[in-house]
């Protein structure tokens, strides 16, 4: 992507690769302003947080009395969910622990999941996705040229988690989502992974395979059924404690024998490839920027350290060549085919059918339902 003059926020490291970014007179971006005005007000990395968290957990335990589980927790093998699982064990919760295997787990992720489960004494429920379906959908997404190539995995994760919860009568999702490391994300970069209309449209145009076990969750299920009729709630405990990812990892290494992924290795090989190569190459998006911007606003690193981090390469050349071969082979593509799909120009999600128009109607219906019920329900409480 050609960028004219790249303007960078004077407080964080977000820049004009976010086409919707705005700067105030001090050169501070809208993400930082939003952090100060809104996000920081629902963030409690202090004693108050502990009191609030204890109260919420007490409620969850009361609701779950007599049931096999009192909440559900998705385990990816990453630090956030691993640390969360260990902490929730300390708080005495009895989660239904689910891992969704979409075919891209690194060996280390499998090992780390085992360590967590062993340490906590939890029983692990692994949902293995139908690989032929996942593969066909992923190739269809690559052919579509849209930015959010993690849609196929992310959507599968949430819809499986919700289905597991409903099947077991669990009403609370315990999520590792957190303000400290991921409060900032530019909306202009990605379309929601929860949009089933979008997934079906791309499958129809580029894949056209029958989805049997991969069941996209509809907009009605996501915005009306689960929050209002089923009354699913989400709790993000990491927002109620001092969560520092580096310290959390050290704790996991010392306590449970967790192993570090290394600087650029993640729990999913595809996600790593997508974030460190596909997005920067095709769209000019560097996901390290919103992550580092979040850490700066959370007071965990300085802007200087973040800028130095961004100067490092996204991939070592040898590792990149290896990963291109690995991803191509796994998706039954030749290396040339995969490179062709990456080197062609990016396409906006809005070129394909999506939920945008319905979303507006849904939001109005939601507001009416909330008025009727006299309560507010948030997808991301
Ligand atoms: Zn900023």
Q: What is the pLDDT of residues 147-196, one digit of tens each?
A: 999 999 999 999 999 999 999 999 999 999 999 999 999 999 989 999 99
Whole-number Å distance, alpha carbon 33 to ligand 1 midpoint, is 7
| Tokens linked to 90 | 């300390």
4: pLDDT strictly greater than 60: no
Task: Report how far residue 323's alpha carbon sits from residue 29's, in angstroms, rounded to the nearest whole number.
Answer: 35
Whole-number Å distance, alpha carbon 9 to ligand 1 midpoint, is 5
Instruction: Give 316's Cβ-side CA count (13 Å radius).
Output: 7
Whole-number Å distance, alpha carbon 303 to ligand 1 midpoint, is 10
Band (pLDDT 50/70/90 cuts) for residue 44 is: very high
3: pLDDT strictly greater than 50: no
Whole-number Å distance, alpha carbon 371 to ligand 1 midpoint, is 35
| Tokens linked to 260 | 């570090």
Whole-number Å distance, alpha carbon 240 to ligand 1 midpoint, is 23
| pTM (two decimals) | 0.92
Q: What is the pLDDT of residues 325-377, one digit of tens each?
A: 999 999 999 999 999 999 999 999 999 999 999 888 888 887 888 888 776 66
| Ion ligand 1: residue ranges with CB closer than 5 A | 9, 11-12, 14, 29, 31-32
Closest CA to 133 of 67, 77, 211: 211
Cβ-based burial of 68 (10 A; exposed 0-12, middle 13-18, buried ≥19) = exposed
Q: What is the pLDDT of residues 55-108, one digit of tens each?
A: 999 999 999 999 999 999 999 999 999 999 999 999 999 999 999 999 998 889
Whole-number Å distance, alpha carbon 293 to ligand 1 midpoint, is 7
Runs of H (alpha helix) within 284-376? 288-297, 303-311, 317-330, 335-343, 356-373
């Amino acid at each position: 992507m050609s960028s004219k003059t790249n303007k960078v926020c004077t407080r964080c490291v977000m820049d004009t690769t976010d086409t919707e970014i705005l700067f105030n007179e001090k050169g501070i971006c809208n993400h930082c302003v939003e952090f100060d005005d809104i996000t920081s007000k629902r963030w409690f990395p202090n004693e108050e947080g502990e009191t609030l968290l204890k109260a919420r957990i007490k409620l969850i335990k009361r609701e779950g009395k007599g049931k096999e589980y009192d909440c559900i927790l998705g385990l990816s093998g990453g630090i956030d969910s691993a640390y969360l699982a260990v902490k929730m064990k300390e708080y005495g919760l009895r989660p239904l622990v689910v891992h969704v295997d979409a075919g891209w787990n690194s060996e280390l992720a499998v090992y780390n999941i085992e360590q967590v489960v062993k340490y906590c004494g939890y029983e692990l429920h692994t949902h293995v996705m139908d690989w032929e379906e996942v593969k066909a959908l992923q190739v269809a997404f690559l052919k579509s040229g849209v930015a959010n190539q993690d849609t196929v995995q992310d959507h599968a994760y949430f819809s499986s988690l919700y289905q597991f919860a409903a099947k077991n009568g669990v009403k609370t999702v315990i999520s590792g989502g957190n303000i400290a490391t991921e409060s900032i994300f530019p909306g202009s970069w990605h379309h929601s992974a929860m949009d089933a209309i979008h997934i079906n449209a791309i499958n129809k145009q580029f894949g056209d395979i029958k989805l049997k076990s991969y069941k996209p969750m509809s907009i009605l299920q996501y915005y009306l059924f689960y929050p209002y009729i089923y009354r699913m709630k989400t709790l993000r405990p990491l927002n109620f404690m001092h969560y520092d990812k580096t310290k959390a990892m050290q704790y996991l290494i010392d306590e449970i024998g967790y192993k570090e992924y290394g600087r650029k290795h993640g729990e999913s090989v595809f996600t790593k490839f997508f974030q460190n190569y596909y997005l920067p190459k095709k769209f000019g998006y560097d996901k390290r920027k919103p992550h580092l911007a979040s850490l700066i606003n959370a007071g965990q690193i300085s802007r200087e350290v973040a800028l130095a981090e961004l100067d490092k390469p996204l991939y070592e050349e040898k590792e990149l060549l290896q990963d291109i071969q690995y991803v191509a082979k796994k998706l039954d593509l030749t290396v040339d085919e995969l490179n062709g799909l990456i080197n062609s120009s990016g396409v906006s999600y809005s070129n394909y059918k999506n939920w945008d128009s319905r979303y507006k109607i849904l939001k109005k219906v939601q507001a009416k339902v909330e008025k009727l019920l006299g309560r507010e329900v948030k997808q991301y409480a």
